[in-house]
Chains A and B, each alone.
Chain A
Amino acid sequence: MKQAVISCLHANLAAVEAVLADIDQQGINTITCLGDLVGYGPQPNEVVNLIRQRNIPTCQGCWDEDIIDGLNACECSYPSQLAERRGHRAHHWTEQQLTEDNKAFLATLPMTLRRNSHLFVHGSPNSQHEYLLPDMSAFAALERVDSAGAEILFCGHTHQPYVRELSEGSIQVKVQGNKEAPVEHELKLPVRRIVNAGSVGEPRHGGTKATYVIHDDNTQEITIHEVEYDVAATCQAIVNAGLPEVFAWRLSHGFEYAERADDASHVCER
C-alpha cells in the first residue's frame, strides 16, 4: 500500500490542488499533512477548507501555531529586519483573513501523528521550530527518530525534500564510577529513516515546482515527487490580496518568501 505525505502548504491553493490531483491520479488514498497550511500565501481559508473537506490528517505546523498562540518566537527566527517585517506582515494579514472556524480547526491539530512505526511531525518530535537538515549530525538525527519510538520519521519545515537512511551505526562507551573499575560496552544502533516532504506551497530547493513524498509499504521505497502548478495564478492572487508584490516575484523565481535564519539548529525559546 502506498501513502503520500505533504507539507508546508502556505496558503497556495493552485499548488495544493495540483499536488492532490497528482496523488489522486496514482490511486493513493492515504495522505498525511505535516502542517503549515497557512502563512505568506494568498488563500489561507481556501487551503484549510480543502484539507478539511478531504479529511486529510494533519499535524500542526509552526505557522499554524503562531496564528493560534500569537507571534512570540525569538528574534533568531529571522536573519534580517526585512525578513522579520515581511514575516510579521504576512502573519497579521493571515490572522485577519482566517475565519474563526478555520482558526478553531488549526487549534485542534495535534503536534504529532503516529501510524504504526511511522511518526509524522512538522519540525521534529521536540518542536515545530526545529529544523532537521540532511547534514545534521547523523547520531542526533537518529536520536530524533529512535527517541520517538519510530522507524520512519516524516518531517517538513525545511522546505527541502530528502530521504535519509541511517544504518550500520554503533557507539562504544567506557563508564567509570567513583570507586569501580571502568566498564566498556558497545551499543548497536538500529536502522532508521528521516523523510522530509519538502514544501507544496513555498519551495526552497531552487525550483518552482511543488514537492511531496510517497512511501510504498510493500517495497519500503520512498520517492520524492515534483509537481508543476500554475504559479502565475498564485502570483496574481498575491497581488489581488494586497500582499507585498515582491512575494509574487520571489515565488515565481523559486525563492522563499523570507529568508530563514542561518542557525537552523536553534530552537526558539518560548
Chain B
Amino acid sequence: MGHIWLITGPPGCGKTNWILNTLQNHSGPKAYLQLHGHSSNELEQAGNVGIDRAWLKDQIPDLQHAEVNAELVQEPQKDQLTLIEWPQFHPPKTVGIEGADPSLLNTLSGMNLSPQRVLNFGCDAELPDQDTLRFTRLESWSLNLHGQVWDPNSLSSFWFELVNGAYGDVYRAKALMNLPDGRAFLCNWMVSQPSSQFLPLKNVLPPLGRPQRTSELVVQGKALNSPGIESTIHDCLLSDEALELHQAPLREQFNQQQSTPSLV
C-alpha cells in the first residue's frame, strides 16, 4: 500500500524543491502528479507547462509521472511515495484534507485518489515559509521554447533584465533553457530570494542539432511587458547557422570520444 501526499502552496514557495528533496530521500518507488490550480481575474496560475515535471524527471530518473499512467497513483506499489502538487494562492482555512479547495477534492475524487497527508506551504510548520508570499494580484505569461537554443551570454543579460524589472514587476520566473553545448539549466527566480538559481540538468545532449526536450519560460508578476520580453528573447536565440557554428567543433570532439574505445 503506497503513500499519497498532497502538497499545496502559492507560486515560488518552494513546493518543487521540497518535493525533489523528499522524493530523493525516499528509497522506494516514486511518482509525481502535477494538477492545474485555479486562476481568477486578479490571480493567474502559471499553467502546467511541464517545467517542474521535466526537472524532477531529470534529477530523479526513476521517477514516474502519473499524467502518463493514472494507475500509478490509483494502484500504487507497496512502499511507493506519490506526491501530488496543487498550486494554490490562498492558504486553507483549516489544515488537512477538510480544508482543501472543493474543486481539488472533486478532481481527486474523480481520479479515485485519497491522500493520506496534506501539507500546505504557509500553514504547516514543518514546511519552510520564507518564500511563501501572499499575492493579491498576479499576472502570468509563458512561452514555449521547445527546440530553441540560447546564446549563453545573451541568456545572462536577458535574465538579469527580466528579474530586475525591465519588463514589468516580476515576482516569479522559472524556465528550462537549452545551451548550444547540449547542457540545459533550470533558471529560477523568486522575489523573496536575493539571487536566481541556475541549476544544470544532469542529462547533457550530444551536439546534434536542436534539442528535443521540454523548454519553457514562465513569468508571474504585474504590468508584464510580454511583447518586450518576446522581442528580447528573439534576439537571444540562435539561428540554425549560428547553432551549427557552435556545435561543429564540439561534434568533432564528441565523435572522437565515441570512436575511442574506453579501457575497462
Which residues from chain A sit less than 8 Å from chain B, CB to CB?
79-83, 85-86, 244-246, 249-250, 253, 259
Contact = CB atoms under 8 A, between A and B. Distances in A.
A250 B232 CA distance: 13
Contacts of A259: 153, 157
B228 A245 contact: yes
Contact of A81 (B167, B228, B242): B242
Chain B interface size range: 20 to 34
A79 B151 CA distance: 10
A270 B154 CA distance: 25
Given A244-B231, A245-B225, A81 B151 contact: yes
A238 to B, nearest CB: 13
7 contacts: A80-B154, A81-B235, A82-B153, A82-B236, A83-B154, A246-B166, A250-B166
Contacts of A83: 153-154, 157
Nearest to B152: A80
Nearest to A245: B228
- Dominant SS at the B interface? helix
B235 A253 contact: no
Contacts of B124: none
A244 B232 CA distance: 9
Contacts of B167: 246
Given A81-B151, A86-B235, A249 B166 contact: yes
Contacts of B151: 80-82
Nearest to B158: A82
Interface string B133-168: 000000000000000000111101110010011110
Interface of B: 151-154, 156-158, 161, 164-167, 225, 228, 231-232, 235-236, 238, 242
B166 A81 contact: no
A83 B235 CA distance: 9
Contacts of A246: 161, 166-167, 228, 232
A246 B234 CA distance: 14
A81 B236 CA distance: 6
B154 A82 contact: yes
Nearest to A80: B153
B127 to A, nearest CB: 36
Given A244-B231, A245-B225, A246-B232, A82 B164 contact: no
A83 B161 CA distance: 13
A82 to B, nearest CB: 4
Contacts of B156: 80
A263 to B, nearest CB: 13
B78 to A, nearest CB: 52
Given A81-B235, A82-B153, A246-B167, 11 more contacts: A79-B153, A82-B154, A82-B157, A82-B158, A82-B236, A83-B153, A244-B231, A245-B228, A246-B228, A253-B164, A259-B153
B232 A82 contact: yes
Nearest to B156: A80
A48 B74 CA distance: 74
A250 B242 CA distance: 27
